[in-house]
Amino acid sequence: MSSITQYLNLYRDNRADVHSHSVELLNESRDDAYAFLQDKSLPDKGEEGFEKTSIEDMFSPDFGVNICRLNIPVDVAASFKCDVPNISTLLGVVVNDMFVPTATLLKNCPEGVTMMSLSRAAKEQPEFVGRYLGKISPKDNVNVALNTLLLQDGVFIHIGRGVKLEKPLQIVNIFNSPAPMMSVRRVVIVAEEGSSANILFCDHTQTRDIDYLSSEVFEVSLAENSHISICGIEESSNHTRRYQQVFVRQESGSNLYINSSSLQNGTTRNDFTIDIVGEHCETYLTGIAIADGEGTVDNNSNVNHLAPHSHSNQLFKYLVDGKAQGAFEGGIYVAQTAPFTEGYQSNSNLLASTTARMHTKPQLLIYNDEVKCSHGASTGQLDENALFYMQQRGIPKDVARTLLMQAFMSEVIDTIPVEGVKDRMRHLVEKRLSGDFMLCGECGSCK
Amino acid sequence: MSENKINNAPAADEDILRQATGDEYKYGFVTDIETDIIPQGLSEDVVRLISEKKGEPEWLLDFRLKAYRHWQTLEVPNWAHLKIPPIDFNSISYYAAPKKNAPHSIDEVDPELLKTFDKLGIPLEEQKVLSGMAVDAVMDSVSVKTTHKEKLAELGIIFCSISEAVKDYPDLVKKYLGKVVSYRDNFYAALNSAVFSDGSFVYIPKGVRCPMELSTYFRINASGTGQFERTLIVADDDAYVSYLEGCTAPMRDENQLHAAIVEIIVEDRAEVKYSTVQNWYAGDKDGKGGVYNFVTKRGLCRGDYSKLSWTQVETGSAITWKYPSCVLQGEGSTGEFYSVAVTKNKQQADTGTKMIHIGRNTRSTIVSKGISAGESENSYRGLVKVAPTADGSRNHTQCDSLLLSNRCGAHTFPYVDIMNETAIVEHEATTSKISEEQLFYCNQRGIPTEEAVGLIVNGYAKEVMNKLPMEFAVEAQRLLQVTLEGSVG
Amino acid sequence: MDNILLNVNNLHASINGKEILKGINLTIRQGEVHAIMGPNGSGKSTLSAVLTGNPSFTVTEGSVDFHGKDLLSLSPEDRSHEGLFLSFQYPVEIPGVSMVNFMRAAINAKRKYLNEEPLSASDFLKLMRQKRAIVELDNKLASRSVNEGFSGGEKKRNEIFQMAMLEPLLSILDETDSGLDIDALRIVAEGVNKLKSQENATIVITHYQRLLDYIKPDFVHILYKGRIVMTGGPELALELEKTGYDWIKQKYND
């Protein structure tokens, strides 16, 4: 029996509750999703592209879903002190699957910018939100349908035409629950023509010994000449499972930067599907994974070039220690309709223990001869010559190792377009690599 | 004749240019000889009939039946990046043999057959045989003639058809058959194990370097048949052999199925080079006809410091689906894969290799050059796996794709699985079109575009072509040139 | 008091089971400059690698005393902290590690070893600035990743800059002249000379006389097939310049 059945039964048995605690716009797609899912199952390791992460297994435990929207009290201010130094952000907090705006956000959110609870936005402006919700993600994807079926809340971000937002938007996702729980979130990001914004997502798990499952679907649309950066930093717990699917549609002249970094986690699977439908777009998809214990970080990308003259670049680096496993499956697709494409992809990995595993599959699918595409993947260890050189200069071996690992990651960190976020990442990676990550002690999230 | 070719290899370049005009598939003729074909269809009785016709011992019939029963439980695989029309396995005849079977001297070989192989450039008559090469000629399902057998026998080298080997060296065959490619391996391996008709058997004893190239020439002739040959090569400790495989087929409208198995065992410090120039009929411009080439090739580097090197030039077949692989079990063993795959018109190829590192300090190198033209689909698919036991292993993979038209597809699917932290594995891939600067430069020097493409492609593929034995390199180079005629744009 | 800095006694070393050093004896006192010369493959670079503790080599016999410490028992970093510096023949590129972070880690590791407080950021930068001048190292180079994208000459200057930063007791210059043009050679040699004192000592490993025109040796040793076969004054280097190594090869090729 597929683990999907328990979610279908949950919906069937509690349909009235689900609907009454939600809003019409979110409710209206649920029955279609239910019908679609009837004979479906979630992908397991037998399925191409899921060799290292079984979504079936991820979803199989009996997680609670907060259908009746019970409020789990979390003292947001007390729990979140790890702010980003040197930059001030417009901050919103998502506790499990409930969006909580901060006072500064409510006060300082500039004209033309919306960042709010998805369900509230859907309730207050159903027509406006309906223009974007469910429009980018495919309806025939099993996990998207499951997300649609049980969708609770999430974030709605809208950057109006021509608005150039200086301050980064920041969403802090906090997991906190006394019992095993699944949260079902949707993030809709809309950048109108000529707009620009930087968005930062930070994932934290507070109750670190509780099992969580997070189902997240991102729908991101970039109108002509818009400019969006999205950085995600995951510092959860080894009991946290996350399946994040990011769907992006890029119109002509748009520029997208995504960084997805897992610094601490349980099982993480990220899918990126980026459709470049306009000409002269730029796309950067980057990520870092530091996995140890029995963790898994599995990134899967599909950058689809459907129009001419666009340029995409993917860069992922992994450090895998302990009994952890890393997986990267990257894809560049160049359609016949996309001449003059440049697509690059690089994946480098360090294995730091005898039991660590790395699986990589960088793929190219090319249907056009006017292209420049390449990919490179390497898996190995730290450079022995560099280690000795540093030791000769008096740097102890363990310090030298840490410095080299940081250097290894810095190629990715250097691509982050927001200085403050870049510094923050550097700091977090340094702390993580020198082993005192867990001893941060500055806030509830890291205790 | 062949001597000249070898000594004057540089001059051959000019030949290539001269000959490379308007050459269609020149091996597309049909030989009119009497053939013994069994009725179409596959059943246990057919398996028994094949075994009976070949006068096989009980254990081999058992092996076939087990394979057949297993095959029945399998479904046609569909994971490759290929569009394969459904194959009706009951409309194929699983055994076709020239009627004058098992000749004892050249006089007994059907003269039509000799002519066929002459046309292919593979003379079998004693006075003409190629001096640097021993040939096993396989027509449809059956080995027709093996040259230089006696000379090789002096060194203790066994080179004969696998049917003969079953009779004359049953212990050796029994010891190795199906040990590298089990009949349970995959759909087509199971099918082959059930119905394989013939193929070559090679055994190089301890410490012997085989003094000449061993070669098998495969020819599908009869219509409505499949070819299911099986090759088994064993190189004992410190032995060396270089083995060549060539293949052609007549032009026919319907598709012919070729599902072969090659098994290679390499013992301590031994080395095997296996080279293929695959030129099965690829179908016509509209994709009608052509051979389906679904082959399982695998070698086991069982011995310490053993080495296995695959080199392939793939230009033919409507659909190619093969992954010559190395299982690197012995400490310090080495696996190599050098491939050029050319597709044009509506050809499809999904080819690559697997390097399985098990032993310590094992090394592998993969160089794959894909060239796609017309509306063809050309995919590289490869696996590099480093087991937890394979300390200090190294792999380097380079796979490049060259596109010659904007209607073709060039794809890369490399799988890399590392389970050992002391391994170093590198993969690089590029995809690009033929350089317009290079073309223009050639044009400016008076070289027409078609010829220039041939030259540039040969340069692009040189790293692989250089790995071929001299006898094959010239043929392969010419083949590349001819294959690419009319495929620019 | 005896001012012996380094005493190498019957040193044997091998790589992958192949013996390269076959019994080296060498004594170096404070204030001295020793040149070690010899044809390619005689073991010159192996000697510097073994003294600094490169893990690729195995010491099979012999001992090395470094101002009272058993050098061979120390880790590479502790040898560095004790005052041993190697200017690498091929300085290693370390992408992503900035020169500033690299040098600060090195300096503060040494201070920690000597039970000293770490340098403050401003003191450190002041020190960098001051030492950079010795080899005319561009500020831009100092802000880049270690040796990454440096020219041959810049790499060698960077080595001497690091030597100035770490103030070693014994510096080994391994073929520091290779790949340098005459101006770069002069700058590097002048840098070395500025750092010379009555307390420290230098080993210059070289193939040619050229560098010795700038850095005057007190002793010249000829290393051949893993042994020091001849020791003399500066005149021995001049002799070699005239006659080449062939007569050495003939004389000692047993």
Quick: pLDDT tens for B304-336.
999 999 998 888 888 888 999 999 999 999 999
Query: Quick check: B435 contacting A, CB < 8 Å?
Result: no
**Given pLDDT bands bounded at 50, 70 and 90, which one contains residue C207?**
confident
Q: Under an 8 A CB cutoff, do A376 and B424 touch?
A: no
Domain boundary among B304, B322, B340: B322
Q: Under an 8 A CB cutoff, do C77 and A396 touch?
A: yes
**Given pLDDT bands bounded at 50, 70 and 90, which one contains residue B28?**
low
**Given pLDDT bands bounded at 50, 70 and 90, which one contains residue A32?**
very high
Query: Quick check: C52 contacting A, CB < 8 Å?
Result: yes
pLDDT at B365: 94
Which phi and psi angles does B32 have, rounded to 5°? -95, 85
- Provide the residue range defining the domain that includes C190: 4-252
pLDDT at A138: 93
* Residues B156 and B61 both lie in one domain: yes
% of chain B at pLDDT higher than 70 = 77
Q: Under an 8 A CB cutoff, do A357 and B418 touch?
A: yes
One-letter identity of residue A76: V
Among the residue ranges A256-260, B102-106, C119-123, the one predicted with the least confidence is B102-106
Average pLDDT rounded to a whole number, residues C118-147: 85
Q: Is residue B161 assigned to a domain?
A: yes
Q: Is residue B421 assigned to a domain?
A: no
pTM of the model: 0.81
Q: Could you tell me which chain A residue has the CA closest to the CA of C108?
A: A395
* Residues on chain B touching A336 (C-beta within 8 angstroms): 406-407
pLDDT at A185: 93
Whether residue B243 contacts residue B214, with contact meaning beta carbons closer than 8 Å, is answered with yes
Mean pLDDT of chain C, nearest integer: 89
Q: Could you tell me which chain B residue has the CA closest to the CA of A372?
A: B432
Smallest CA–CA distance, residue C162 to chain A, in Å, is 8
Chains A, C: CB pairs < 8 Å? 80
Helix (H) or strand (E) holding A360: strand A357-366
Q: Under an 8 A CB cutoff, do B423 and A339 touch?
A: no
Q: Under an 8 A CB cutoff, do A386 and C94 touch?
A: yes
Which phi and psi angles does C189 have, rounded to 5°? -65, -40
Give A308-361 pLDDT, tens digit per residue.
999 999 999 999 988 999 999 999 999 999 999 999 999 999 998 888 999 999
Best to test chain C binding among A392, A404, A414, A434 (most C CBs inside 10 Å): A392
* Residues B207 and B240 both lie in one domain: yes
**Given pLDDT bands bounded at 50, 70 and 90, which one contains residue A174?**
confident
Which phi and psi angles does C113 have, rounded to 5°? -60, -35
* Residues on chain B touching A361 (C-beta within 8 angstroms): 413-416
Q: Under an 8 A CB cutoff, do C94 and A407 touch?
A: yes
Q: Does residue B23 surpass a pLDDT of 50?
A: no
Higher pLDDT, B485 or A280: A280
* Residues B305 and B209 both lie in one domain: yes
Query: Quick check: B426 contacting A, CB < 8 Å?
Result: yes
Q: Does residue C12 surpass a pLDDT of 90?
A: yes
Q: Could you tell me which chain A residue has the CA closest to the CA of B405?
A: A369
pLDDT at B100: 52
Mean pLDDT of chain A, nearest integer: 89
As a whole number of angstroms, the distance between CA B274 and CA B259 comes to: 18
Average pLDDT rounded to a whole number, residues A100-104: 79
Q: Is residue B2 assigned to a domain?
A: yes
Query: Quick check: C104 contacting A, CB < 8 Å?
Result: no
Q: Is residue B203 assigned to a domain?
A: yes
Q: Could you tell me which chain B residue has the CA closest to the CA of A52?
A: B417
Chains A, B: CB pairs < 8 Å? 112
**Given pLDDT bands bounded at 50, 70 and 90, which one contains residue A74?**
low
Give C141-176 pLDDT, tens digit per residue.
777 888 888 888 889 989 999 999 999 999 999 988
Q: Under an 8 A CB cutoff, do A357 and B430 touch?
A: no
Q: Does residue A80 surpass a pLDDT of 60?
A: no
* Residues B20 and B91 both lie in one domain: no
Average pLDDT rounded to a whole number, residues A110-138: 93
Q: Which of B423, B411, B426 is nearest to B349 (CA)?
A: B411
Average pLDDT rounded to a whole number, residues A166-194: 91
Which phi and psi angles does C187 have, rounded to 5°? -60, -45
Among the residue ranges A64-68, A397-401, B337-341, C43-47, the one predicted with the least confidence is A64-68
* Residues B124 and B273 both lie in one domain: yes
pLDDT at B222: 62
pLDDT at B13: 35
Q: What ipTM, to 2 d.p.? A: 0.83
**Given pLDDT bands bounded at 50, 70 and 90, which one contains residue B120?**
low
**Chain A contact partners (≥3 CB pairs within 8 A):** B, C
Q: Is residue B388 assigned to a domain?
A: no
Smallest CA–CA distance, residue A415 to chain C, in Å, is 13
Q: Does residue A240 surpass a pLDDT of 90?
A: yes
* Residues B15 and B71 both lie in one domain: no
pLDDT at B453: 80
The whole-angstrom distance between residue B314's C-alpha and the CA centroid of its chain comes to: 8
Q: Does residue B16 surpass a pLDDT of 60?
A: no
**Given pLDDT bands bounded at 50, 70 and 90, which one contains residue A206?**
confident
* Residues on chain A touching C159 (C-beta within 8 angstroms): none
How close are the terminal C-alpha atoms of chain B, in Å?
37
pLDDT at B353: 94
Q: Under an 8 A CB cutoff, do A403 and C110 touch?
A: no
pLDDT at A3: 84
**Given pLDDT bands bounded at 50, 70 and 90, which one contains residue A227?**
very high
- Provide the residue range defining the domain that includes B119: 31-322
Q: Does residue A276 surpass a pLDDT of 70?
A: yes
Residues of A with CB under 8 A from a CB of B: 48, 336, 339, 349, 351-381
Query: Quick check: B142 contacting A, CB < 8 Å?
Result: no
Whether residue C221 contacts residue C34, with contact meaning beta carbons closer than 8 Å, is answered with yes
Q: Is residue B112 assigned to a domain?
A: yes
Q: Does residue A446 surpass a pLDDT of 60?
A: no
pLDDT at B114: 63
Domain boundary among B303, B322, B341: B322
Given A48, A339, A376, which is nearest B406 (Cβ)? A339
Given B388, B403, B429, which is nearest A354 (Cβ)? B388
Q: Does residue B24 surpass a pLDDT of 70?
A: no
Q: Is residue B355 assigned to a domain?
A: no
Query: Quick check: B425 contacting A, CB < 8 Å?
Result: yes
One-letter identity of residue A443: C
Q: Residue C113 sits in a domain of what CATH number?
A: 3.40.50.300
Q: Under an 8 A CB cutoff, do C109 and A411 touch?
A: no
Which phi and psi angles does A118 have, rounded to 5°? -65, -40
pLDDT at B143: 60
Q: Under an 8 A CB cutoff, do A360 and B416 touch?
A: yes
Long-range contacts for B118-127 (Cβ within 8 Å, ≥24 apart)? Answer: B119/B27, B119/B29, B120/B27, B120/B217, B120/B219, B120/B246, B120/B248, B121/B475, B122/B217, B122/B246
Domain boundary among B322, B347, B378: B322
pLDDT at C145: 85
Smallest CA–CA distance, residue A333 to chain B, in Å, is 9
Query: Residue A16: how many CB atoms within 10 A of its CB?
Result: 8
Q: Which of B225, B198, B260 is nearest to B35 (CA)?
A: B225
* Residues B20 and B75 both lie in one domain: no
Q: Does residue B129 surpass a pLDDT of 90?
A: no
Mean pLDDT of chain B, nearest integer: 79
Q: How many domains does chain C have?
A: 1
pLDDT at C239: 86
* DSSP code per residue over A36-71: HHTT-----TTSTT-SS--HHHHH-S--EE-TT---
Q: Is residue B7 assigned to a domain?
A: yes
CB-count burial class (<10 Å; 0-12, 13-18, 19+) for A419: exposed
**Given pLDDT bands bounded at 50, 70 and 90, which one contains residue B18?**
very low
Tell me the CA distances in angstroms from B119 to B219, B251, B277, one per residue in order: 12, 15, 17
* Residues on chain A touching B421 (C-beta within 8 angstroms): 351-354, 356, 381
Q: Does residue A175 surpass a pLDDT of 90?
A: no
Average pLDDT rounded to a whole number, residues C183-189: 86
Q: Under an 8 A CB cutoff, do C92 and A383 touch?
A: yes
Give B178-210 pLDDT, tens digit per residue.
888 888 888 888 888 888 877 889 999 999 998
* Residues B277 and B292 both lie in one domain: yes
* Residues B20 and B93 both lie in one domain: no
Average pLDDT rounded to a whole number, residues A79-85: 54
**Given pLDDT bands bounded at 50, 70 and 90, which one contains residue C100?**
confident
* Residues on chain C touching A395 (C-beta within 8 angstroms): 77, 102, 105-106, 109
Q: Which residues fall within 8 angstroms of residue B256, CB to CB, at 6 or more apart?
A: B220, B223, B225, B226, B227, B249, B281, B290, B291, B292
Query: Quick check: C96 contacting A, CB < 8 Å?
Result: yes
Average pLDDT rounded to a whole number, residues B380-403: 92
Q: How many domains does chain B have?
A: 2
* Residues on chain A touching C92 (C-beta within 8 angstroms): 383, 385-386, 388-389
**Chain C contact partners (≥3 CB pairs within 8 A):** A
pLDDT at B223: 62
* Residues B127 and B35 both lie in one domain: yes
The Cα angle at residue A246 between residues A241 and A250, in degrees rounded to 5: 170
**Given pLDDT bands bounded at 50, 70 and 90, which one contains residue B263?**
very high
